[in-house]
Amino acid sequence: MEIERKFTIKELPADLESYPFHHIEQAYLNETPVIRVRKEDDDFYLTYKGSGMMAREESNLPLNREAYYHLREKADGRIISKKRYLIPLPHPSFQKSDKLPAPPSDYSLTIELDIFDPPFAPLTMAEVEFGSREAAEAFIPPDWFDEDVTYREEYHNSYMALQH
């Protein structure tokens, strides 16, 4: 189960280049359910995503290079290319909740900051994955995040790739 929230951002972190990153390219074979192929650096995957906006099933299967490029040729819409930075978020903030125990003192999340290449540039979005719906719903984003676009389909990669 993938549980994540998506945000636009106000400004890029000043030290962005100090964080590890991946080059990602992905193409979509189907919209409902979402079936995509992804190249992440030198790794290749076929991904199935069930329905949902914040929480949904997700399965990744490894592909080889040849299978990725064969399937990419069959994809619909536009190919998405982006650079994904992995930014640690130590001691994330959460709204107080009876359903959510206080996180341990060493608790950390990872912000996946995507900087899109054309034709989607200058779009930049941050995604944060959680272990539970309760944590996702109680999450208080950092100040440099802007609008919560988790429930806006136009900010989902499959929608962006397949809508013209």
The residue annotated as part of the active site, out of 28, 68, 85, 155, is 28
> Do 48 and 41 form a contact (C-beta atoms < 8 A)?
no
Contacts 24+ apart (CB under 8 A), 57-62: 57/1, 57/2, 58/1, 58/2
CA-CA distance, 105 to 9, in Å (whole number)?
Answer: 27
**10 Å Cβ neighbour count for 47?**
18
CA-CA distance, 128 to 4, in Å (whole number)?
Answer: 5
CA 89 to chain centre: 15
Tracing tokens 């189907």 back to the chain, one arrives at 30
Question: Has 28 been annotated as catalytic?
Answer: yes
Catalytic (active-site) positions: 28
